[in-house]
Each structure stands twice: as structure tokens, then as C-alpha cells.
Structure 1
Amino acid sequence: MNLTAMLVDDELPILENLSLILPWEDMGIEITGTARSGVEALDKVAECHPDIILCDIRMPTMDGLELIRILRERGESCEIILLTGYQQFEYARTAIRYNVHEYICKPIDYLSLENKLRELTEQIHKKRMASESERHRNVEMENWIRQKQVTDLLAGEKKMSIGYPAQAPEQLVSSVRYILILVDVEGYFRYSIGWSSDQHQQWHDEILSSLRVLTGEMEGSMIISVRKGEWGILLEASGAWEFQADEIAQRVLLKLDAMFAADSAMKVRIVQDVMPVCLDQQIAERYRHCQRMLMNPSDNRDDIRSVTTSVSSQLQPNEVSKKAAWITREELELFTRWIRQGNKQELVHLLHSLKHRLSQLEVSSDSIGESNIRFLLVHMLRELREVHAIAEQEEKQFWDALQMAASMKELVELTEAIAHAWHSKQGVSRPSVSELIKSACEYMDTRLEQDLGIDEVADWLGISSSYFCQLFKSHVGVTFVEYMTHKRMESAALLLSTTEWSITAIGEATGYKERRYFSKVFHKHFHMKPSEYRQSKRTGT
């Protein structure tokens, strides 16, 4: 880009010579005007603000030094070269005080002046490039700090108010509100299991670059990435922000759908909030609310969902929410049963129910839910290993993915990925007979207090009752009833000798609701009554 210059001298021949002799175009300088007095020059400088001024000192009405003084007071930062026929020290000292670039005596050596102008032009360009580079760095640093603060806020690492911009006064900060558009790639975590860190980063950078292009024209917008596979677009809620948010959401959906068109394993889903909030705890609450919307298996299959309700209206009471975060013992048993039976339909139904329940959690219970999902995943992987339903390399990838998972949604996706991999694996070997019997004994040993029957154990193993009875008798050497009675009596004897429980309580703890029947079975097994057994253990006989 060319620089601009103004020529100021009361002698017309000098003005003409300066205009015609010097190769202005070749030097990259455009003459924007000439003036024959300081007063005339003041008005023209105010209009065109030249980069360079060549100015005579001795002029009528207002001399060059007075002109420079007024220009500096007005904040003009142009470079000035003084031309004078008088070599007086006072002139030079005044010129230095007003930051004059060069002091040239007449008669003018035009070749020397040309060289000085070329040097000055180069200096101005370098100075501007350095200034622009510094400004760009400051803007980038400010944006990085703001994005880092918001990212930490959404991740729950800090509680703070964010300034916009960073140096803005507090009254401006409180007035700026944002709208959140949450972009999620469903299936990414499952699809990317086994990827290297470079593959993860390359994929993520490609999506982030596309989002930046789509939102680049939106002033004040930010793109926040708390975890891989998810991005939060923050738009200033000013002007026609509703229309802009709708347009951005549609453009993002079309762009990412086109990118994933060849891969049906991943799908874009967008939650578009419509509640403008400040960049404080409000935005963190809205972010978590939008995340729960993504987890909720709603009948609404729209790719873009709008969130209109407040956070408080969606939350369950604290006691209910915390209870919902726990995975019960019965659910773990069902997971084990469906894995051993190869029942994908029931397993998927159980996962769907669990996913829906976890989506209703309060933020304060998220950590409880995550801990329980991790425990469930460990349980599933161990069960799959025990029944030889998963390859060693595949199991290692799942363990690595479990360590990488950083949110409830990713953990739920991992459970679905494991279930899918288990079901789609061809030629899955059934557990051996010894493994079936071992599992049956473990199942029975932990339920001595229950009214356990053959049908329940056989159903849990995924085999028929008659086949279970045949296997059990041939491998254990006793019938199901004999085994349960023996284990219950061993447990009762241990409780009699180590606790002060009543005989009735011990009978109930070992599966006998009536004391009389418990005493009868105990006497038949040990040839003495429960009270006599306890007394004999106390006396050492």
C-alpha cells in the first residue's frame, strides 16, 4: 500500500521541483496535496492525514516550526522532513523537540533527498508491520485468555467472571450476554476407539477449522472445546441474534453432515439454547443442561434441538437424583446374565434405561454417576473376558478408551460400543461346562438368604433347568438342594460360633424363615441343635 505525502513551501518553483523531479510513484508515495503556508497546510492535513510532510521553515503567517507544534498537539504522528535555507542551531533544536525526522538545508540535493525518502518509506513500512503484528498478538492473546477462562468455567475447574474485552470496565462486562450452540458428534467416541493421539488431533483440528470458517463473520463469537467430539459456539446476544443463531446452527449442520456423509457411524447433533446469559456460572449451568439434552433419548429425532426451559425446572430433587446415579446390584446381575446368554435385545434395553436415568441427574450428582458407569464398564469387560467373548487386542483398546473417557456421555458411548462389539463378534465361543458350574456356584453362594430355585439359576446361566440339574450333579457330585443346604449350614455354623445373633436371625440370614424348620435341618446336618452347637463352641468341646 502506497504512503501519502504533502509538500509545504511558500516558493512555488520549489513546490513544482519537488513534485516533478522526485520519482514519487517509484518510491511508493502518493502526493495528496501542496500548501504555500502553515495555515493552509493545517486545514489540508486535517483532511488527508498524510504519512510524510516535506515542510519549509520560513513561511508567511505561520512558519514551519509553529505548524509542526500545532500538528503534534493535535496528535498527528506523520514523519516530517524540514527544508530550510537557514542553518541556525535554534531551528535544529526545536525540530528535535518536535520529533522531526530529517533537517535538510537548501539548495536541495534531490538525489540525497530521494535516498532519505526511500529510507524513511522503508522505516514506516517496518514500523507499521511491527505495530500490526503486535496488535494481532495482543488480540490473539486476549482471545486465548478469554477462551481458556470460559473453557475452565465450563469444565468446572474455576468459578470466575470473564471480562469482555479483557480490559473492559465492569459495567460493560455485566451487560454482555451470550447464546450457546452446542455441537456434538454422536458416535465419535465409539468410532475413534483405537485411534492414535495424532489421528484424534487431526480429526478434531479439521472440524474446528470448519467451524471457525462458518462463524468467522460473527463479531464477538467464540468456539470452546471442553472435550473431543463436542464444541460450544458462543454468540453475542445482540441485534438479530435469534436469526443469526438459527443460521449458524443450520450452516454447521449442513457442513458437518456433508463431511460425515460417507460414514454413517457418526452423526451431528446440535442443541441450540435460546436463553442469553453472562459468562459466569450461568453459562456453565446452560452448558450442562444442553449436555443432558444430548444424552436424553427423546422421541424428537430432530438434528437441531432448541432449549427453552430453565435449568431449575429440569432438575430432580436432590435425593431422587443421587439415588438415580447409583447402579444397583440387580442391574449388575442383569448385565452379567444378558452377556452370558448372548441376549443383545435385553442388554440394549437395559443400557437405554440406564442412559435415560443418568440424563436426569443433577450436576452435583454427575461424579457419582460417572463413578458407577466406570464400575459397570469394568464389570462388563471382566465378564466378557471370562466367557471369552472379546479378543485380547480389542479388550486393550477398550481399557485405553475407559482411561480416556472424560464425561458421562463418553462413558455411556463406551458401554454401547462394548455391547456392539460383543454382539457383532462372529463365532463367539460359549463358556465351558466348568465355567458354567463355577459361575453357578458363585451365584448361589451370594444368595444363601434368598428363596433361590433351580429355574432362576438356570435362567441366569442361559440354559434349561433340566440341563443345569444334569450338569450340576455330574460335576459337583451333589444335587442343587444338597449343595444349597450344605452351604447354608456352613454359614449358620459360622454365625453361631462368631456372633451373638439370635437363632431366629441366623436362620433368616441363611434362608430359613421359620426357626423350627431351621433347627430341624441343622440338627440333621450336625446331629445337635443350634443352641447346643453354639454352647459346644464356647466351651471348646
Structure 2
Amino acid sequence: MKLLIADDQMSLHTYLDKVIEWRALGITQVKHAYNGKEAADIAMEFMPDLLIIDIRMPELNGIDALRLIQSLPRKPKTVILSAFDEFEYARDALRLSVAYYLLKPVDAEQLIGTLRELIREIQSELQAAVERKLEKAGYKSDYSDICLDVIGAAFETIGITHYAVSSVRGNLPAGIAKELFSWASDSVIPYSFLLKEGSGEYIFLLGFKEELLQEQWLEWCELRIIHWRVSHPEWEAAMGISKVGTKLEALPLRVTESIQCSKLSFYVSDAVIGFREAPISGDTDLWMFHEMEKAFEGKARGGYQSEAIEGSIKDLFDQMRSRRPEPEFVYGVCHRLLFILTHAFNREMQQTPNVPSILELKQFRRFDNLRRYVYGKVDLFLLDTFGNSGKQFEVMRRIKSYIEAHCEMDLSLQTVADHFSIDKYRLSREFKQEAGENYWQFVTRIRMEQAAAFLKETNWKNSKIAERTGYMDESHFSRAFKKHYGLSPKDFRGKQEEG
């Protein structure tokens, strides 16, 4: 923020420099003029954001100097300091859009309050101007020189030296994701600009007043996400962040980095994902997936057995998990798989089979959840098509594998039934038939075995082990463990150490 002080009294300049900490107000450059003509000349070259000016000065009075300054592309917010409380001066000041008319002798506190108010106005106007440019650029992905010049001028005025881009994705209603960056500004990242909003995705440009290491930027975002999840547990959000940059011509690249990272949240569970090279595979891998789809369609339409069809689907999902194509592409693949499967075995049907739409599939914002849903649909379809032989065992085997791999998650009967698209009563009945124990006995046994392994192999506290084995609190975990093993977690660990 730049300030020009114009007054013919040297003592006023000295006084203001002594009693006001300009940098504390965000003013980084201060210049002085001692008559009206000098003030106008300096203003033309210096382009101040703020102007403090006297009226009665030699060579050119303050009012006439302001008339010349009116020709600037962006006029400074102006405060007149005058010893004269005259209506004519006040009227002329109003015509020249002077913000404040203060009388001498100067009240430093009053002037500081006035400058703070004007600085807030400037920041608000600049933020609005930048967001207008960014909104247009974000939707068209067109960051022209004019757009970058506007942003650069705003950054210089506000004092932004570094920036980064963040993309927020999730099942978020319009307007709510901006809360991630609209909480009270802090000294680390005081400025945020909305680049783009739509379809559950929000892209922000964040400005820093000092150099910020990538690790600090990542940590700041993780704290924001934690705050967000506490405030809005009903909404799921993940954040992709770009590298920290200084040169605005690299802004389009920073935007691309953040979008690619946010898309990676489809595959990984991290709440905040920092930029890494090629996080999402490009078009070069798509031919392979199309070939695998064709192979699957050939088996489905050729009447292959269920094991061959399931094997094709598993191979395809394993490759997608490994190579990480665009989420949109994965949704399309899943829709086509289900379409091919239902139509291949229902050629004689009068009614068109009910195939989930891509929009319905997009409710699954994580790859693993989508895969489980598709597997469940395929299992049910093949069970109906090929009969019960071997299928019940296979479904229960998958459910047991899921429980063993996700001890820390919600494993209620309803939740797991929903994951596998199976009725919970059917799950309970068939699970006991296949496993020889009821569902909750199995879940508890697996969790206890996992807890025992943690007690043997780590020095984790009971609270962490409880969390990693799906228990809400340490006391509940300890009671369940003692009931299962006849020993408290502490005694169990002690016995293991003695052995």
C-alpha cells in the first residue's frame, strides 16, 4: 500500500512519521510533497493508494492539485488535513470525492482510524476487482495478460508476495465451501479469492504476505480441513493444493496442479493432497481400459461363466486403481460395465433393465466405495443369473475380507450391507450359514485379534489402538478386550513382554 503526504509544514511530516507505524497499517511506501505542484507531479508517477493533503500550500493549493490527480486511472483515497473549517473548501472536497476532511491540529488516533477504514475499503474494492477478473478467467480457463495485470496490481497494493491455488471437492452445497477460506484472516494467509464454483468444486487463489514453505502451506490447509470437519460433519470435503508460487504468469499451471490433486482424492483418503508429478494418468492409458472393456463385453455376451466375468471386472478395477484415470472416465466405465452386463443376459426382456445412471454413480465420491457398489451389483446380478451355486460363499468371502481390512471403520450390519448392495437380514442369515458364527461375533473377533497384534508389535497407547480397531473410546475398548481375552490391554501387553 502506497501513501503520499502533501503539506507545506515540515513539522507535520516529521510528526506523522514519528507517531504512526505505517507498516503496521499495511503501508509499505511513503512519499512526501511540500507544495501542491510537487504533490500532483509525484502522484502521477508514484500512483499512491492513499493521499493525505493540505489545502493551503504554495505554487498550487490542495484543491487544484486534486483536480489534476483526478486524471489518474485509479484515484487515491484522500484525506484533507486543514486548519480552515470553511464551507467552500468542504464543498470542493466533496466534488473531488475526498473521503475525509479533518481539521488541524492533527489527532493521531483519529487519523489512524481514518486510514484503517480507507485501507479496508481499498482492499475490499481490489478483492472485488480481482474476483471479477478471476471468475471470468476461471470459467473460460483464459488467463490473459490483462487479467494477470489486474491481479498483479492488486497484489502489489495489498502487499501479497506469494500465492498458491486450492481446489475443494465434495458433496458440498453452493456457497458452503467458501467457509474454508472465509474464516477470520490470519497472519499466514490473509487473502483469498474465489476462482471458480460449480458441481461440488471450488477453486481458490490464496495470497501470502511473506514466503511460505510448501510444508507450512500443507499444514495450514490441514488445519482448515480439521476445523471444517468439526463444524460440518455432515459434508465430505477434500482439498488439492498447488505449489507455492511468486510469478503470476504461472497461475494457469498452479490452477491445473490444484485441480489434479483434488481429483486424486477420488483414489486416496487424505484430506489434503499436495502437488506431485502426474497424479492423474493422461489419455495415453485410456486405450488399455477400452480394450479391457471390450474383453469384458465379449465374455458377457459370449455366455462365459460368472468366475470369468468377475475376473475381467476385477482386472479392470485393479488397473484403474493402479493407473488412476480421471474420475469422470471411471464413472463412465462403471456405467458401461453395468449396462453391458444387464443387457447381455436379458436379450429377451420386454422392459429395459434398470442401469444406474452416471449421476447416481457419482454419489460415490471415492474409488473404493464405487468399486464395492459395482461389485455388489455384479454379485447380485450373477447370483440371479447363474443361481446360488458358489455365489453365496464368494459374497460372504468378500464381506469378511472387507471387515478384516477396515477394522477402524463403521462396520454396523446396515453399513456393510449397503456397501455390498445386499439386504441386511439376508447378510446376517447367510453370513452365519457360511462363517459358522454370527456377524457381530466375527467383527468382534477380528477387531480383538487386530488389537492384540497392535499391543504385541507397537507401543501405541490404548486410545490409539481403540481408534484403529473401531471403538469410540478407550474405556469401551478396554472392556471389550478384557471380555474377549480375560485380560486388560495393559496386562496382556505386560504378559507378552514377560514372554
TM-score, normalisation: structure 1 = 0.39
Give 1 or 2 for the bigger CA radius of gyration.
Answer: 1
